[in-house]
Homo-oligomer: A and B are copies of this chain.
């Protein structure tokens, strides 16, 4: 038979204490129960803090919450390129010709229509859909807004990242992300150095390309393209941003095969490569880091190294003269996000440019800040193309009415 109580120990009591109470009524909640609730509460708080403290600490650093006022650094000699260019998010330098290819928009209109920032007001003013494709001559400082011959009149033009493939030293294929109201696509353009116009060839759409941001061209009709988010809007998108989730990816597109080349990126933003494409540089924008990747023969990307940064990095730009990567981005992302909600108020988003180069001593990479601004001059900086030959750094911006800023290359950069 089952023996339940072989000794004289009493069974645990479930009723209250049996000592005589001096109060007229029994206490409603026994002291030990209150103590237990407090203990449980403390344990839950302690666990919560322990589990989340790393996230909050890293986030407050990467969001620049406690940086105070940003002091401009190395901006001496910088000038806004005059003429009304605004929101020139990407700049690609064709070093042989000294021409810079840029995609520019209208800063105020970005607050109404710009899917990458979940601005989805399709009834925005027309100017929101009339972006410019610009060729800027670095030596002369003059630029032309190029006509895209063959692109049907009235087609939305809401540009973002660019990728350029050289079919020959003078014949370029240019891939441009275009956030049309009908869906984000990749426009295929061709340009021969010296021509007066750019030729529109075709439009590429693919179900895997859903939130395109930037392009790394690999051939006349093939490229890597980044999807910067998984969700386009709604609370899932809010959580994706709030929690800085690794839900972006990189797609390889070609007529033969289109597939996910690299997955689980905390907002895959700008992408570029070194001279021979043996290394690929990928910005994880709200992850705040740079992935250095290698492409396999079947066009998947394999991790070589990850460099954690401390700001929301946008586009990386490769400088072949120094074999280094200049990364531009947003020091106070919340300032930028809040600024995009304020119609009619100029947005000053603090920006920073770092130079990432190999550290021969340690074998890793070193990261040096080469320029910083409080947004009064360079606002929402997104890319910096460095022309060492002419000593010029062109800084593009995502949402600023001071679209491009021309700087001397900072000392040591």
A residues in contact (CB < 8 Å) with B: 1-7, 9-13, 43-44, 46-48, 50-52, 55-56, 75, 78-80, 82, 84, 108, 239, 242-243, 339, 342, 344-348, 376-377, 401-402
The smallest C-beta distance from A50 to any residue of chain B, in angstroms, reads: 5
The smallest C-beta distance from A364 to any residue of chain B, in angstroms, reads: 26
The smallest C-beta distance from A15 to any residue of chain B, in angstroms, reads: 13
Q: Report if A346-B79 is in contact (Cβ < 8 Å); known contacts: A43-B242, A239-B50.
A: no
Among residues of B, the one whose C-beta sits closest to the C-beta of A403 is B6
B-chain residues with CB within 8 Å of residue A13 when the two chains form the complex: 345
A48 touches B48 (CB 8 A): yes
B-chain residues with CB within 8 Å of residue A5 when the two chains form the complex: 346
A346 touches B401 (CB 8 A): no
B-chain residues with CB within 8 Å of residue A10 when the two chains form the complex: 344-346
The smallest C-beta distance from A175 to any residue of chain B, in angstroms, reads: 31
B3 touches A82 (CB 8 A): yes
Closest 7 CB pairs of A and B: A9-B346, A3-B80, A2-B377, A51-B52, A12-B345, A48-B52, A50-B243
Among residues of B, the one whose C-beta sits closest to the C-beta of A47 is B242
Given A2-B75, A9-B108, 6 more pairs with CB closer than 8 A: A3-B82, A6-B402, A10-B346, A43-B242, A44-B56, A50-B243
- Bound CA span A339–B10, Å: 13
B52 touches A243 (CB 8 A): no
Contact check: which of B4, B75, B243 meets A376 at CB < 8 Å?
B4
Contact check: which of B12, B44, B345 meets A346 at CB < 8 Å?
B12
B-chain residues with CB within 8 Å of residue A347 when the two chains form the complex: 12
